[in-house]
């Protein structure tokens, strides 16, 4: 299996954020949402868009061809491939379908938690695989935001 290039990794990160945006955007259209759930899903939708912009800006700021990778990049790339293959949404259409097909708000929130956890695994693996401190700072900020999303979603789920 070939290792991903850094540009491919960033592009997949952008796609993950787009898929999340599609899911949350579709989920906000559900008629069975209470006001707190709608507010949270809207916030998370907008955060996905912010993260996409962050990764696009990172790609513009850094010379991705010269980004220093860790010595075990092949293993990390293989791990990333496993995460990508097993994630809950593989494209915006599947994300929209998941939001639409959820039988209730609880399932919408459970899907969102699974998505956020998949995203965290991916971003942690990238962070472990690069050495550029600027890129790592950006990733750490996004990781912290993703962790906060899981906590917010878990809190809402407890109240349902």
Q: Residues 110-145: pLDDT tens digits? A: 999 999 898 898 889 888 887 778 778 878 888 898
- Number of domains comprising the chain: 1
CATH number at residue 105: 1.20.1260.10
Residue 112 lies in a domain: yes
Cα(110)–Cα(116) distance, integer angstroms: 10
Tally of residues, the chain: 160
Cα(70)–Cα(3) distance, integer angstroms: 13
Note down the domain range covering 69: 6-159
- pTM for this predicted structure: 0.80
Cβ contact 53:17 at 8 Å = no
| Per-position DSSP letters for 54-86, written without gaps between them | HHHHHHHHS-GGG--B-TTHHHHHHHHHHHHHH
| Per-position DSSP letters for 122-142, written without gaps between them | HHHHHHHHB--HHHHHHHHHH
Report the chain (160 residues): mean pLDDT per 10 consecutive residues: 61 87 96 92 93 83 60 73 72 91 94 91 84 79 89 90
Residue 117 lies in a domain: yes
């Amino acid at each position: 299996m070939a290792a991903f290039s850094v540009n491919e990794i960033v592009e997949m990160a952008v796609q993950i954020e787009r898929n999340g945006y599609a899911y949350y955007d579709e989920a906000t259209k559900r008629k069975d949402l209470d006001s707190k759930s709608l507010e949270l899903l809207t916030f998370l939708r907008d955060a996905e868009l912010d993260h996409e912009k962050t990764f696009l800006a990172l790609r513009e700021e850094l010379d991705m061809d010269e980004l220093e990778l860790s010595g075990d990049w092949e293993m990390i790339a293989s791990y990333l491939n496993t995460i990508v293959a097993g994630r809950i949404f593989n494209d915006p259409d599947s994300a929209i379908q998941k939001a639409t097909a959820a039988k209730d708000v609880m399932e919408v929130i459970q899907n969102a938690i699974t998505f956020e956890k998949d995203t965290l695994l991916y971003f942690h693996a990238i962070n472990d695989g690069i050495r550029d401190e600027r890129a790592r700072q950006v990733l750490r900020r996004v990781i912290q935001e993703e962790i906060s999303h899981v906590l917010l979603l878990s809190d809402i789920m407890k109240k349902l």
